[in-house]
Structure 1
Amino acid sequence: MVAADSAGARPTMRPSFRRGERFMVAVLVVVCLVVGIGMLIALLRSIRSTNRTPASRPAVPAPRPAGGAVSRPVVPLDDDATARFDVTPVDLPRQPLEFAAPGQAGRLFSYGGDVAGHVLPGPYAIVDVETTGFSPAGGDRVVEVAIARVDASGRIEDEYATLVHPGRDVGPVFVHGISNTDIRDAPRFEEIAGELLARMEGAVVVAHNAAFEDRFLAAEFARAGVLPPMSPALCTLWLARRTLRAPNHKLTTLARYAGIPTVDAHAALGDVRTVAALLPHMLRAVGRPLQYPVGFRRMPQLPREVRPLTRAVELRRGSEGWMASLMARLPLSAADPRDGDAQRYLESLAIALEDGRIVGTEARELARLAGSAGLGAAQVAELHRQFLESLRELALEDDILTAAEIRKLRTAAQAVGLPDHFADLKPTSPQDLLAAGRIPGARPAICEHCFGTGHFRATCPELSTV
């Protein structure tokens, strides 16, 4: 409350109000201190768990021998193995790397750069993972993985992405946007390990802050009982510090400074695509071929039979529509749709397009159906083409195509992200109608006297005989 002195001077605060104000400030200070101390304790625990010694780690299916450096067995090659595969044994460090510098070796990757070794101009296998936390030694797991084969120009040749069931809680949803419901039907890592190894074989593995991917993938492969040979690898965080000037070297910052649009910044596939777009710029800035301590290795051949569970997040209508946004967020290619999955998707698409447009909720439902079926952008686009062709057949059932029908068809094509699909259509011309003996809208001649067809009253046979 406010009080004024007897002389009419400026108002002053009553003592009771001041005491209440000081009390509230004190409470806020105490709350901030408690929250800050809690965050500091959590950070220290995370750092401590990351730096645990091997003795405190959970047992893994493939224990390594004790003493000195750890020797990784090389996968034996067939007699017809080509010279591009390296068979030199590699010693491994016991402690995980904190940063992937050239010449160092992690659990899976041997890092190249400004070192002497093999000149490997590509191809590249860019990989990214989303995880439940920061420490695989502390029990954190992979919840999403994406990998793309890319040539030296940054052209993506193949993509694979899937959610992964971690066998535990997914961790902080606000970081990766993946809920426990999302991963309920996802494959486990051991079921998709073959997909990763097939794309890593004969390629330089690339990741942004590759030591992170190294630790988690090594732990996941070990749990699956798989020990892949050492792969040549490149850390784009190290490469960016050498070649790009930016306030920091986070992936989103680098993309913004390079003028590269980003999609799905918190999804593994989005990060893989951003690295693929940045990689050619950084390689050109180096000005000379990078070298790697090891060459390409043969990878174990594992089954590749489980369908991925893809996701499309951060859907936006944008200038090209909801479905173009959906296809941009799916991997280029994935599993071929099963009949039941394809039918459910097409039925939902037909319902969504009943009013001639697709809104956000309908696009998200279609994204859910595509993801649960493990479909990629190529498979979804093919289903959309099948749907549009069925609309074409319906429109041409009477062999007449009007301008209004063409407008409706092109509106549907625009809505599903294929705006040029009906670019070949033209309205049926009057000449074509005459040639076919059909004139739309013309009524047959009806006599007003006898009500017969084919003549009018003036030429009615009944009247002419009267």
Structure 2
Amino acid sequence: MGWVIFVAIIVVVFYLVARSGDQAAKSRSASQAKPGSSRARSTSRPPTYTRERGPSRPSENWRSEGREIPFAEPGLKGPLFQYGGTSVRGGSEHGGPFAVIDFETTGLSPRRDRVVEVAVARVHASGKIEDEFATLINPEGRDVGPTFIHGITNAQVKRAPTFAEIAPDLLARMSGAVVVAHNATFEEAFLAAELKRAGIEVRPLPALCTLWLGRQTFSTPNYKLGTLARAGGVTLVDKHAALGDVRAVSALLPQMASKLGAPLLYTGSPLDWTAADASDARIPLVTRAVSLRKGTDGWMPSLMARLPGTGLEPADAAAEAYLDALAEVLSDGRITREEAHLLADLAGSAGMGGSEVLALNQRFLEGLKSAALDDDVLTPTEIRQLRSAASDLSLAGYFSDLHPTPTPKLAAPLHLASDATSTTSMQARGERGKEALAMQRAGSTRADIAVALGVGPETVKSLLRDAKFYENPEADPSRFALAGEARRARDAGVTRDRFQADRGLTPGKATEAWRDAAMLVSRL
């Protein structure tokens, strides 16, 4: 009987303990569900600001120093910008233009970090870009920061201008415009900090944030620029390059404004920055072309498209360096990935934009044309070579008006007259090359030599290159070896066309080897 009582006591104890636990659990659950409890606040989803607030009160103005950068809702007033929207009290519409800006920076703190790249586009209300400006910025001793994100190195910014030097050009493009940026308060904080360092004061300007505007007009998982660009069908190939972001925002802006379905209102008036406020001094810009793609049209269209529309007119030395590199690159009739990046680096280091590169490409082609017409004869082969070079340089129709020179009727057998003419022509070319080399060593420039010899600048360059080679052929072993092969082929009765086909050479390379073989008979 005693053991029965003992078992009953144990059962009762377990029941009371279990019931007590259930009540405690219910009590905790009720506490967690109670509105305003700390647990409820920590697990609830943070609010997403997809609608406008009312206009900010003056007491809600923010500064960029020492505080978290806020979200740019309409009515917010910052150190430089007054943000527009659809419910800004006392605001008015703005029909354009817009100045879309973007910065790449060394970090996230406007007080400690610096701008390392700036881009601005002056944009019509339709989204058409009327003017572009972009350059790397020297952060004045500050490390460039996360190269793995923005792709900018310390070596690239060494020759770049400081922010203070380009500030007048930047402000000139913002004059008369509403300033636009994605997550605009970030750009605003850095712009305010950099202008303060430069000693430039600017009154508050009307501005628009496309991060806020995107939240009103797109239903996307997030409102990052890349996500919005995909949703809007806008190409963003050079992400984390200031110019690429500016172009994407410029293309999205009219889409967003159309989707919004209500006028955007702004307070304040745009900046009035006159031409007299800008410096007349030539600032040494450094541009860059990133994310190059060969595509179906080759490397050159991608190179020019990635640079700003306009840049600096290159100095003579920079232009010559680019043209010399172009001659080497096209010597085998094609542009490789490495060569495209080399040309991009040369153009960027000289501060060139796409229009300046195009002008140099045209200048190069004109030099090739002058060289081809140097003997007053234009052959079908030369025309094919010229058109191939033009196609590689994104100027496919440049030589569409050229036609072969009619072949004269000769009394003597064609091959004898051709041989004699060829020999005389090569000898004359060799003499001109020696004369050009002597003039260069005496201090004459290529332009002076061209005038003295009555030839184009590209012909001078070719003459100098040949003269130096003939003077010391062993200094260029590969060219010397190919000349030897050409000499043996000539002696064996092989034609130049067969020699070209057998060795897979371009017409220009085969012609050069054939000429070298004739000029270096005593050395081969």
TM over 0.5: yes
Preserved contact between residue 263 and residue 329 of structure 1 (Cα < 8 Å): no
Structure 2: distance between partners of 1:413 and 1:313: 23
Correspondence for 2:485: none
Percent identity between the two aligned chains: 54
Structure 2: distance between partners of 1:257 and 1:383: 38
Correspondence for 2:71: 99
Structure 1: distance between partners of 2:271 and 2:309: 26
Matches within 5 A, 1:218-237: 218-237=192-211
Structure 2: distance between partners of 1:339 and 1:183: 22
Correspondence for 1:323: 300
Preserved contact between residue 174 and residue 271 of structure 2 (Cα < 8 Å): no
SS at match of 1:118: coil
Q: CA deviation at 1:372?
A: 1.1
Query: Taking structure 1 as reference, are residues 304 and 371 closer, same or farther at Cα in structure 2, changes over 3 Å only?
Result: farther
Correspondence for 1:260: 234
Correspondence for 2:320: 343
1:123 aligns with one of 97, 104, 113: 97
Instruction: Confirm whether residue 275 of structure 1 aligns to residue 249 of structure 2.
Output: yes
What number of residue pairs does the alignment pair up? 352
Q: CA deviation at 1:347?
A: 0.8
* AA of the residue aligned to 1:106: G
Matches within 5 A, 1:114-263: 114=86, 115-116=88-89, 117-137=91-111, 139-167=112-140, 168-263=142-237
Structure 2: distance between partners of 1:276 and 1:155: 8
Correspondence for 1:414: 391
Query: Taking structure 1 as reference, are residues 108 and 401 closer, same or farther at Cα in structure 2, changes over 3 Å only?
Result: same
Instruction: State the Cα deviation string for residues 243-301 of structure 1 (Å, max 9, x = none).
Output: 12222211111111222222311200010011111111111112333110112232372
* AA of the residue aligned to 1:111: Y
Q: CA deviation at 1:304?
A: 5.1
Preserved contact between residue 61 and residue 76 of structure 2 (Cα < 8 Å): no
Instruction: State the Cα deviation string for residues 227-251 of structure 1 (Å, max 9, x = none).
Output: 1122111111111111122222111
Q: CA deviation at 1:123?
A: 0.4
Q: CA deviation at 1:416?
A: 1.7
Q: CA deviation at 1:365?
A: 1.3
Q: CA deviation at 1:119?
A: 1.3
* AA of the residue aligned to 2:396: P
1:383 aligns with one of 343, 354, 360: 360
* AA of the residue aligned to 2:129: I
Preserved contact between residue 130 and residue 142 of structure 1 (Cα < 8 Å): yes
Q: CA deviation at 1:316?
A: 2.0
Matches within 5 A, 1:76-87: none
Instruction: Confirm whether residue 308 of structure 1 aligns to residue 285 of structure 2.
Output: yes
Structure 2: distance between partners of 1:141 and 1:131: 6
Structure 1: distance between partners of 2:366 and 2:206: 47
Matches within 5 A, 1:450-461: none
* AA of the residue aligned to 1:142: V
Preserved contact between residue 127 and residue 253 of structure 2 (Cα < 8 Å): yes
Correspondence for 1:35: none
Query: Taking structure 1 as reference, are residues 234 and 438 closer, same or farther at Cα in structure 2, changes over 3 Å only?
Result: farther
Instruction: Confirm whether residue 404 of structure 1 aligns to residue 376 of structure 2.
Output: no
Matches within 5 A, 1:6-85: none
Correspondence for 1:363: 340
* AA of the residue aligned to 1:362: E
* AA of the residue aligned to 1:227: E
Correspondence for 1:394: 371
SS at match of 2:362: helix
Gaps in structure 2 of 5+ consecutive residues: 1-56, 418-524
Structure 1 residue ranges, 4+ long, deviating more than 6 angstroms after superposition: 437-441
Preserved contact between residue 116 and residue 144 of structure 2 (Cα < 8 Å): yes
Structure 2: distance between partners of 1:351 and 1:210: 45
Structure 2: distance between partners of 1:182 and 1:248: 33
Structure 1: distance between partners of 2:153 and 2:279: 28
Structure 2: distance between partners of 1:393 and 1:141: 49
Structure 2: distance between partners of 1:260 and 1:440: 66
SS at match of 2:206: strand
TM-score by length of 1: 0.71
SS at match of 1:144: strand
Query: Taking structure 1 as reference, are residues 443 and 125 closer, same or farther at Cα in structure 2, changes over 3 Å only?
Result: same
Structure 1: distance between partners of 2:306 and 2:410: 47
Structure 2: distance between partners of 1:155 and 1:340: 34
Q: CA deviation at 1:174?
A: 0.9
Structure 2: distance between partners of 1:250 and 1:440: 76
* AA of the residue aligned to 2:217: T
Preserved contact between residue 229 and residue 299 of structure 1 (Cα < 8 Å): no
Preserved contact between residue 406 and residue 425 of structure 1 (Cα < 8 Å): yes
Q: CA deviation at 1:69?
A: 6.8
Structure 2: distance between partners of 1:362 and 1:187: 26
Instruction: State the Cα deviation string for residues 18-74 of structure 1 (Å, max 9, x = none).
Output: xxxxxxxxxxxxxxxxxxxxxxxxxxxxxxxxxxxxxxxxxxxxxxxxxx979xxxx
Structure 2: distance between partners of 1:262 and 1:419: 27
Q: CA deviation at 1:207?
A: 0.4
Q: CA deviation at 1:397?
A: 2.8
Gaps in structure 1 of 5+ consecutive residues: 1-67, 71-90, 446-466
Q: CA deviation at 1:413?
A: 1.2
Structure 2: distance between partners of 1:136 and 1:122: 29
Instruction: State the Cα deviation string for residues 168-190 of structure 1 (Å, max 9, x = none).
Output: 11111111111111111111111
Structure 2: distance between partners of 1:440 and 1:399: 21
* AA of the residue aligned to 1:303: S
Correspondence for 2:41: none
* AA of the residue aligned to 2:240: H
Structure 2: distance between partners of 1:187 and 1:440: 66
Preserved contact between residue 102 and residue 118 of structure 2 (Cα < 8 Å): yes
